[in-house]
């Protein structure tokens, strides 16, 4: 520690790379990091490994490793139709919600960030105030509304409210992105004969992409994991999304712990894969959003 | 082009007042046009505004604002959810809510969760973000792994943890194995411990989000500042204390705000792990689980809506206080006013 501090004081020439004033080979840092990872992962690993065990094993020795790797639990889930039906429902809901939120949110952010008109500030404030209306508060009347619209037990009955509730955060994140595009670019595009809508397609869309991707990922994951709204809207088994399915499965097979664990671990795979693919974008997009 | 037409079809039959107010009689000037008037002023631009904000406003007003307004309306009725609400009871629902000790308990639990979330997750997440912000081997991987619990569905987390924490679950078994048998507990149903169990699970689940936010904030701090301080002889912890933390302030305050609102609205994990009945006896019930248990599940929709209104005003009050005293300099007008 002292060594680097002295080196830093004396020779700033090569130190632009290494801003940390103490040595990063320090084993304690790695120890803490390892401990952290273990804490974060242990439950997940337990769920996945538990799916490979038998119920007898889990009962007699809850903390053990699988002695013989049972694939039967996973195969049972994967060959049954329930799981795939729920994966399908969740995928439809998450994709439609994401598409809706991104399309509507970006168009509106473009207008709010780039047009001057009476009521613009009020519109932004209205959407920002939407952050104060979480789904939990609106769920009971929302259920009545969806019932009156005849959308009970249908996927649009979940998708439309999810889009509505996804819009505020989207606009809060995207408006700074669109606003940050320099006026000069718009002027140049305009001189080259590009209409405002053309500018939207050719310049705003690509330039706001980091924000759009962040919003899309957050929306997708939130929708994929959504519980409260499907709980109220979807009562028939064939319309269940995965979270409802996991809970129904867990109560139906409450004695078959291993199978429940297998079902649970399979249901978290898609969100995990999706997230690992895009994690860099999430960090990058949030940087812009927090600063904006 | 086809999309525009499609939008106008959806737009046409809607009589939404918000739409006409915004898109209707308003003079429009695009930013570059301020310097020199262009052909874009007038109807084409108005049409663009109407087409591009109309659908958003329709969805937002009908599925967010309207339900909240409905909640306020039905909260004044004793109503079982079918037929028109006719049994007007004035403020009786609200009186009942505040006379119900179960609700007061739930409110108190929410308060505890808000405070403990900030106290447990905040400092831990800041330390972790500082740790992960430096170049080290496997940095990217660690960041991904820290975020994993946040990405996993509440239902999965709830199901998994309740299997692990029950009497003969893996947590007690591990404690036995490593010789800490005296630490074994009835983690979920003992009212003395259940709240701490919940806090543990919440921290595990949501700390990743805080860490990612803080990491994003840390990346916005110019390296020159820490370098300059290091050259002046500041120690690592002095730098973090005097430079990094103050500059991370806005991010921390935004996180605290989100965390507070989330804690006030908490529903999923409690409902999944404890269910509506056990949550009350184990001391983990929240306003939201109370609302679902005594509203929809009891068939008393009027009462449920009144609870929703109370929940809303408590959140709003907390948010406004926070905005007024803490968040003001960061997000001027973002939540209450329209200065943007």
Residue B88 carries which DSSP code? B
* pLDDT tens by residue, B212-243: 888 877 877 777 887 888 788 777 777 778 77
* pLDDT tens by residue, B153-174: 888 888 888 888 877 777 777 7
CATH 1.10.3720.10, applies to B97-327: yes
Instruction: Give residue limits of the domains in chain B.
Output: 2-74, 97-327
Q: Using the beta-carbon criterion (under 8 Å), do B223 and A122 form an inter-chain contact?
A: no
A110 close contact with B: CB closer than 8 A: yes
Q: Which of A9, A59, A116 sits opposite B231 (nearest CB)?
A: A9
> Considering only CB atoms, which chain B residues are within 8 Å of A61?
173
Whole-angstrom distance, CA of residue B71 vs CA of residue A19: 54
Helices (H) and strands (E) in chain B, counts: 17, 1
Whole-angstrom distance, CA of residue A201 vs CA of residue A188: 15
Strands (E) across A82-167 are located at 116-117
Got the DSSP string for B33-55? GGTS--TTTTHHHHHHHHHHHHH
Q: How far apart are the CA of B257 and the nearest CA of chain A, in angstroms? A: 11
- Asked whether the predicted pLDDT for residue A3 surpasses 50, the reply is no
* pLDDT tens by residue, A112-156: 877 777 777 788 888 877 877 778 878 888 888 888 888 888 888
* pLDDT tens by residue, A72-85: 778 887 888 888 88
**A231 to chain B: closest CA residue:** B268
Average pLDDT of chain A to the nearest whole number: 77
> Considering only CB atoms, which chain B residues are within 8 Å of A130?
60, 64-65
Q: Which residues pair with B29 in a beta bridge?
A: A116
The C-alpha angle with vertex B216 and arms to B212 and B222, in degrees rounded to 5, equals 150
Complete domains list, chain A, with CATH = 26-70 (no CATH), 77-291 (1.10.3720.10)
* pLDDT tens by residue, B262-294: 888 888 888 888 877 777 777 788 888 888 888
Q: Using the beta-carbon criterion (under 8 Å), do B268 and A228 form an inter-chain contact?
A: yes
Q: Using the beta-carbon criterion (under 8 Å), do A29 and B250 form an inter-chain contact?
A: no
Phi, psi of A149, deg, nearest 5: -80, -5
Q: Which of B49, B251, B305 sits opposite A115 (nearest CB)?
A: B49
Sign of CA dihedral B314, A108, B217, B326: negative
CB B296 within 8 A of CB B302: no
How buried is residue A151: exposed, middle or buried, by Cβ count under 10 Å (0-12/13-18/19+)? middle
- Asked whether the predicted pLDDT for residue A192 surpasses 90, the reply is no
Q: Mean of the pLDDT values across residues B105-117?
A: 90
B83 close contact with A: CB closer than 8 A: no
Higher per-residue pLDDT: B241 or A290: B241
**B145 to chain A: closest CA residue:** A37
**A283 to chain B: closest CA residue:** B216
Which A residues, 193 through 252, put their C-beta within 8 Å of a C-beta on chain B?
Answer: 196-197, 221, 224-225, 227-228, 232, 242-244, 246-247, 250
B123 close contact with A: CB closer than 8 A: no
Whole-angstrom distance, CA of residue B331 vs CA of residue B340: 10
Of A62, A108, A271, which to mutate for an interface test with B (greatest number of B Cβ within 10 Å)? A62
Q: Mean of the pLDDT values across residues A247-269?
A: 83
> Considering only CB atoms, which chain B residues are within 8 Å of A289?
216
HSE-up of B303 (CA within 13 Å, CB side)? 21
Q: What is the b/e burial string over B177-208, where b = at least 16 CB atoms within 10 angstroms of the residue's CB?
A: eeeeeeeebbbbbeeebbbebbbebbbbbbbb
Give me the pLDDT at residue A287, please: 52
Chain A and chain B share a number of CB contacts under 8 A equal to 335
Give me the pLDDT at residue B115, please: 92
Give me the pLDDT at residue A6, please: 33
Whole-angstrom distance, CA of residue A148 vs CA of residue A140: 13
Give me the pLDDT at residue A101, please: 92
Q: How far apart are the CA of B55 and the nearest CA of chain A, in angstroms? A: 7
B258 close contact with A: CB closer than 8 A: no
Q: Using the beta-carbon criterion (under 8 Å), do B308 and A140 form an inter-chain contact?
A: yes
Give me the pLDDT at residue A292, please: 37
Give me the pLDDT at residue A284, please: 58
- ipTM confidence: 0.79
Q: Using the beta-carbon criterion (under 8 Å), do B168 and A20 form an inter-chain contact?
A: no
**A103 to chain B: closest CA residue:** B56
């Amino acid at each position: 520690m002292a060594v680097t501090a002295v080196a830093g004081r004396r020779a700033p020439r090569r130190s632009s790379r290494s801003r940390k004033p103490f040595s990063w080979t320090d084993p304690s840092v790695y120890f803490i990091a390892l401990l952290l990872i273990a804490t974060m992962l242990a439950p997940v690993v337990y769920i996945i490994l538990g799916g490979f065990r038998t119920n007898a094993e889990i009962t007699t020795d809850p903390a053990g490793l699988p002695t013989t790797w049972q694939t039967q639990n996973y195969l049972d889930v994967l060959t049954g139709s329930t799981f795939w039906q729920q994966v399908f429902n969740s995928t439809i809901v998450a994709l439609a919600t994401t598409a809706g939120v991104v399309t509507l949110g970006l168009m509106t952010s473009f207008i709010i960030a780039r047009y001057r008109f009476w009521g613009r500030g009020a519109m932004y404030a209205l959407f920002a105030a939407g952050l104060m209306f979480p789904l939990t508060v609106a769920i009971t009347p929302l259920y009545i509304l969806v019932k009156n619209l005849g959308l009970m037990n249908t996927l649009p009955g979940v998708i439309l409210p999810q889009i509505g509730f996804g819009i505020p955060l989207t606009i809060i994140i995207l408006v700074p992105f669109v606003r940050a595009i320099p006026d000069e670019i718009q002027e140049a595009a305009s001189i080259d004969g590009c209409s405002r809508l053309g500018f939207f397609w050719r310049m705003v869309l690509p330039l706001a992409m980091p924000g759009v991707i962040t919003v899309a990922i957050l929306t997708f994951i939130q929708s994929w994991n959504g519980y409260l709204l499907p709980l109220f809207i979807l009562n028939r088994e064939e319309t269940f999304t995965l979270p409802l399915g996991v809970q129904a499965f867990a109560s139906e097979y409450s004695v078959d712990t291993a199978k429940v664990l297998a079902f649970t671990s399979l249901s978290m795979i898609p969100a995990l894969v999706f997230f690992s693919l895009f994690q860099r974008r999430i960090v990058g997009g949030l940087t812009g959003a927090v600063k904006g | 082009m086809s999309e525009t037409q499609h939008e106008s079809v959806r737009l046409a039959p809607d009589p939404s007042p918000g739409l006409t107010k915004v898109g209707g009689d308003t003079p429009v000037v695009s930013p570059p046009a301020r310097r020199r008037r262009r052909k874009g002023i007038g109807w084409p631009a108005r049409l663009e505004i109407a087409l591009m904000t109309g659908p958003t406003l329709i969805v937002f007003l009908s599925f967010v604002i309207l339900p909240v307004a409905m909640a306020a309306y039905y909260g004044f009725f004793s109503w079982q959810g079918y037929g028109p609400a006719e049994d007007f009871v004035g403020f009786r629902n609200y009186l009942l809510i505040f006379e119900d000790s179960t609700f007061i308990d739930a409110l108190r639990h929410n308060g505890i969760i808000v405070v403990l979330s900030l106290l447990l997750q905040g400092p831990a997440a800041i330390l972790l973000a500082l740790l992960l912000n430096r170049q080290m081997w496997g940095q990217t991987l660690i960041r991904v792994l820290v975020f994993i619990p946040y990405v996993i569905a509440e239902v999965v987390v709830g199901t998994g943890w309740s299997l692990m924490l029950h009497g003969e679950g893996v947590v007690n078994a591990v404690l036995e194995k490593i010789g800490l048998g005296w630490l074994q507990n009835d983690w979920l149903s003992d009212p003395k411990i259940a709240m701490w169990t919940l806090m543990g699970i919440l921290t595990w689940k949501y700390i990743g989000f805080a860490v990612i936010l803080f990491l994003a904030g840390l990346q916005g701090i110019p390296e020159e500042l820490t370098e300059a301080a290091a050259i002046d002889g500041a120690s690592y912890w002095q730098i973090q204390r005097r430079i990094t933390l103050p500059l991370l302030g806005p991010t921390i305050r935004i996180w605290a705000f989100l965390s507070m609102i989330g804690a006030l609205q908490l529903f999923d994990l409690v409902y999944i792990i404890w269910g509506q009945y056990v949550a009350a006896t184990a001391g983990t019930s929240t306003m939201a689980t109370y609302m679902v248990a005594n509203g929809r599940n009891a068939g008393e929709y009027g009462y449920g809506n009144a609870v929703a209104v109370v929940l809303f005003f408590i959140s709003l009050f907390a948010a406004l206080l926070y905005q007024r005293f803490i968040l003001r300099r960061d997000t001027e007008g973002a939540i209450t006013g329209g200065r943007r």
